[in-house]
Amino acid sequence: MTEETPGFEEKPDVPSGATPDDAEPQAAASSSTGEGAAPAGDASSAQIAGLTAQLDQVRKALEERTADLQRLQAEFQNYRRRVERDRVTVKEIAVANLLTELMPTLDDIGRAREHGELVGGFKSVAESLETVAAKMGLQQFGKEGEPFDPTIHEALMHSYAPDVTETTCVAILQPGYRIGERTIRPARVAVAEPQPGAQAVKAEDESEAGDEKDNGPEEG
């Protein structure tokens, strides 16, 4: 039997070259490393959340800029249409003003033609002027025998006639002119209305003629 020496305790094995005092810091370091470090998954989630928030901000800014661009484009298109419409309107007004100044000359040419005075060089000049006016869109209207239309005709003379069934233009005192659908000057005309009572007499005559035909002798 081996006798234990009183007062002597066994100590743990210590690696060679190290003192017992060096073992305690190593144990403490290993303990702190294992328990106090943050998990790697939490850091990745925080980065993803941050990037998602930035992406949402960029997407929102892009949508706002796109809406601004669309609004500016619509305003520009409206501006172009308005400018084009105004340009056409100004052109039509200028042409109408010019042709309005030429109408008295065209009236003189028409009267000269009616009286057989449109001959020689004057005839060539007159026809050239009428051709130019037609190319600029000027159209002459107004014919004898057409129904009277107060929107395009101006009645200067009035009479009654037994051979008309409605108010009719019986004479063109001055032709009318238009550019497209726009009337520059109404045709100045003499109109005739049906003779008072003529329609009633005509209706009675037609009625009597029909009765005579129905009551004629039967073939037998």
Please give the pLDDT value at position 170.
Answer: 94
**1-15, 75-89, 128-142: least confident range:** 1-15
**In a 10 Å sphere around its CB, with 0-12 CB exposed, 13-18 middle and 19+ buried, how is residue 189 labelled?**
buried
pTM over 0.85: no
What is the average pLDDT value for the chain, to the nearest integer? 80
Please give the pLDDT value at position 198.
Answer: 59
How is the chain split into domains, by residue range?
47-136, 138-207
CA angle 158, 105, 176 (to 5 degrees): 35
Mean pLDDT of the region 169-191:
93
| pLDDT confidence tier of residue 92, bands split at 50, 70 and 90 | confident
Architecture of the 138-207 domain: Roll (2.30)
The pLDDT of residue 79 is above 80: yes
| pLDDT confidence tier of residue 1, bands split at 50, 70 and 90 | very low
Higher pLDDT, 15 or 159: 159
Residue 156 CB contacts under 8 Å (≥ 6 apart), including other chains = 173, 188, 189, 190
